[in-house]
Amino acid sequence: MIYNAPIKDMLFLLNECFGLDTVRALPGNEEVDTDLLETILEEAGKFCSTELLTINQAGDEHGAVHADGAVTTPPGFKEAYAKFVENGWTGIDSNPEHGGQGLPKVLHVLIDEMLGATNLSFKLYAELSRGAYHLLDHTASDEIRARYLPNMVAGTWSGTMCLTEPHCGTDLGLLTTKAVPADNGSYRISGAKIFITSGDHDLTENILHLVIARIAGAPLGTHGISLFLVPKFLVNDDGSLGERNGVTTASIEHKMGIRGSATCALNFEEATGYLIGEKNRGMAAMFKMMNIERITVGMQGLGFSEIAYQNALAYALDRHQSKAPAPRPDDSKASDPIVYQPEVKRQLLTMRAQIEGARALAVYTAMHADIMEKSSDKKAANDAKDLVALLTPVIKAFFTDLGMSSTLSAQQIYGGHGFVREHGMEQLVRDCRITPIYEGTNEVQALDLVARKLTGSTGEFADRFFAEWLAFAKKNKDAAATTAMQHLIEATAWFRERHESDDAAVRGAATQYLRLFALAIIGCMWTKSVAAMKNQEGGFYAAKRKVARFYAEQVLPETGSLLATITGGDAALADFEITDFSD
């Protein structure tokens, strides 16, 4: 397989489309400039292509192994992780107070795309650590932060998120893991957790588990959940590692994909844990990490889309089969590259148009995440917070759906060669398949969007957001984007009319609404991109204008059919009774 980080497109978005002025004006970003970002992106791309992609297939074939109570990673992972840490990739956007580089989140988001594209199994060993770090930095006491965070930033310790239990998936209010107060101010944590990404491995000296549990007497449901830090090894007062805590690995999952990543079932047997944040406020604290992970998982989907597109394009340019429609590239040949077949060309352009538009949405959102975290302007920070909240479920769900459709399209372009292991397409499909499922299924993301983000203060912000982008599309005379935004606004009104009176209709149309939302706002991202190019000349800009036109004419019209399904299809869903499935 091949992978060339799309740095030129990334830099176009950073420098020309959205510009760095707003990010550079934030405290701590004064030295951030184009040269710095370009250097870091190039180094990240090189590391991903030369160190991670080269061990991805072997990691899939070997897998993580659980034996004698311990988990070992696939061959090459320990060496790659040592280089990963040595090169400073574990602390890109971490606080300099803990040894981090304090660089913008928008940079980290683009690096996330590269990592997800080239070796998701490897990436996952460090990915949850970043989320755990930011949760602790935001919520934990000064003592906890000083004791644990420097080693997390250094990459010598890693982190996990322990939510799910055997009897409850998304419905975390059903959890049974319990926390009993100890005499020294800590708690004794007992229970079982499943599907714990990187729950055990041999890459770091210690693993810090963030565990949700219920203290005796706490209310039932999610309102009675507290959050605890449970290290694999206890930490002595001098910072050295002490005795093994009461955390054991019962098993690892045998999975369809990402086999090099250890997904563990963990048992907590009166393990020592430390309360993070307030009692019974664990879910509120955990959402800090969950929202980071949801955007991160979205970038995994975008990474899969990019590497699938690159390899499908390379194959289509090289594979000769059948004659192309007139005019043929070479009439003297018995066959032509399949890229000249209109259907293959259409599939490639469909991938590219959505990938580049999605990347623009990611950069736009990540820049607002930087504003949310660092701006001294309270209104700007609050508006940015609302924007990130609004777009998080869209990025998670649409990007991972795009990852699946792109990997399947790439496999289809390869034909029979895409079904066998040698070319790597079938591994992309298998590895990507988890992304629409974990960190809240895409259906859950859609429900979050329509039930929470379209109402209250966030709903008021959404109205302003829609109005601003509709006005922008009109100002730039983009008829396709204008129509799509009008479809989105009409669908939003439909949801609000039924929010209180017809919950089943709202839930039944949520997934279609999220897709309509994504397609429409990505249409506006293309409007923004075209406007930013102005009279720029050269092959890069000419091709991008053509891709923008393709998106407008061949992808964006789907918003019309989605609107029709949302507003006119609820009765057909409601009229079919559950008992009808047996008839």
CA distance 73 to 232: 17
CA distance 341 to 348: 11
CA distance 1 to 34: 30
3-state helix, strand, coil in the chain (%, to 5): 60, 15, 25
Cross-strand pairs, 275: 228
CA distances from 374 to 28, 93, 337, 385 (A): 8, 12, 51, 11
Identify the residue whose tokens are 């398949």: 433
What SS3 class is residue 231? strand
Contact (CB, 8 A) for 329 and 341: no
Contact (CB, 8 A) for 293 and 161: yes
CA distance 9 to 458: 31
Q: Which listed residue (16, 61, 439, 558) is catalytic?
A: 439
Long-range contacts of residues 284-288, Cβ cutoff 8 Å, at least 24 apart: 285/135, 285/138, 285/139, 285/227, 286/135, 286/161, 286/163, 286/210, 286/212, 286/227, 288/134, 288/135, 288/138, 288/139
Is 558 considered catalytic here?
A: no
Contact (CB, 8 A) for 173 and 222: yes
Phi, psi of 277 (to 5 degrees): 75, -155
Long-range contacts of residues 467-473, Cβ cutoff 8 Å, at least 24 apart: 469/521, 469/524, 472/524, 472/527, 472/528, 473/523, 473/524, 473/527
Structure tokens at 412: 């289809």
Contact (CB, 8 A) for 524 and 473: yes
Residues forming the active site: 439
